[in-house]
Amino acid sequence: MAIETWRSATKGEDLLFLLASSFRRQDVLGPENFRPSIDYSRSVALSGFFAGAFLLNVFARSLRVGDEVVRRFGDSSETQLAREMRFELLSKLDLAESDLKDGAMGRIGDAVIAAVYASDRPISNGLRKLVKEEFPKPQCYACGKALGWRASAGLPVVSLDHVWPAAWGGDSVLENLLPACSDCNTSRNDLIGWQWVSAQALVGEHDSGSFLERLPRQYKNSIHLRAVVAYACSARVTLKDAAILIGPVLLEPQKIDERDTTDFFNLVAHDIDRYDPSWSRE
């Protein structure tokens, strides 16, 4: 069964979706587990956490194997490069072809190669001009800070952020770039999924005030990304479009249910009034 996903804009996302649909056993990576639910519930959020953490781990390891293979065999023929990629993926990911659907490993190898090459492409001046035309009065999509396209504007200068990180196969294309301040771009770093941080370890006091004030930036970014991914899956839009609709990270995340504990699955880090009110608090 093919999983439901957001609309892909990069080679890295293509690889992620291919991995998610390639395993023979779909009870772990099925759509009801991988896709964040519109309805908020801890059981759904937890199942999405474990399935997503497994998938992102396999994804990240695949790309790191791909980096090594391309570095060693990038000057070889396409056939040899593909052969070496398949061999290294099978040996280093602890996978057997019997774990995957017929022919999946070959397709995964090709997708890894495409994602590795996409990671090396810089942002051209022409592409930067297109983003400027799209956002003539830019704000940081992550924190909402007003930005300028030139240092002489008296505002922090725009730093273009790859919504799907370049280090993980995020293409330098218009559909994957948003204006960001340098602080947010740096702090977000290579975050590829909300499961990328230790969400389980974030459990605070019932009285959330001081706990939320001390909340590390990585958790705010991950909570925000969880909502972006959920919206993108629901509306079948790109992560960029979802990030614009969701709005920036709040200075201080808020509890969804004030009566419950303060933990990762009971927090929102964006303005919930910014997006479609027909869906829930996730």
Q: State pLDDT tens for residues 98-157.
A: 778 888 888 999 999 999 999 878 899 999 999 999 999 999 998 889 999 988 778 999
Hey, what CATH topology would domain 122-187 get? DNA Binding (I), subunit A (1.10.30)
Residue 165's nearest CA partner among 196, 143, 136 is: 196
Q: In which band, very low, low, confident or very high, does the pLDDT at 44 lie, cut at 50, 70 and 90?
A: low
| Torsion sign, CA atoms 111, 177, 37, 233 | negative
pLDDT at position 278 is 41
With a cut of 90, say whether residue 230 has pLDDT above it. no
Name, in order, each residue with C-beta under 8 angstroms of 27's C-beta and a sequence gap of 6 or more: none
Q: Rounded to an integer, what is the distance from CA 47 to the centroid of its chain?
A: 18
Name, in order, each residue with C-beta under 8 angstroms of 264's C-beta and a sequence gap of 6 or more: 199, 200, 202, 203, 219, 222, 223
pLDDT at position 219 is 84
Q: Could you tell me the CA-to-CA distances from 36 to 101, 118, 139, 202, 252 in Å, in that order?
A: 24, 27, 28, 19, 23
Type of residue numbered 71: R
Q: What is the pTM of this model?
A: 0.85
With a cut of 90, say whether residue 5 has pLDDT above it. no
pLDDT at position 171 is 95
pLDDT at position 260 is 79
CA distance 237 to 8: 8
Domain boundaries of the chain, sorted by first residue: 11-118, 122-187, 191-282
Residue 82's nearest CA partner among 116, 121, 120, 122 is: 116
Instruction: Report residue 170 as tokens.
Output: 């995020």
CB 271 within 8 A of CB 247: yes
DSSP state string for 142-153: TT--B-BSSGGG
pLDDT at position 143 is 86
Annotate 123-132 with b (16+ C-beta within 10 A) or e (fewer). Answer: eeeebeeebe
With a cut of 70, say whether residue 215 has pLDDT above it. yes
Average pLDDT of 267-276? 73
Name, in order, each residue with C-beta under 8 angstroms of 78's C-beta and a sequence gap of 6 or more: none
pLDDT at position 237 is 92
With a cut of 60, say whether residue 262 has pLDDT above it. yes
Q: What is the pLDDT of residues 162-207, one digit of tens each?
A: 999 999 999 999 999 999 999 888 888 888 888 888 777 777 765 6
CB 187 within 8 A of CB 221: yes
pLDDT averaged over every residue in the chain: 82
Candidate ranges 12-16, 43-47, 95-99, 197-201; pick with highest mean pLDDT: 12-16
CB 161 within 8 A of CB 185: yes
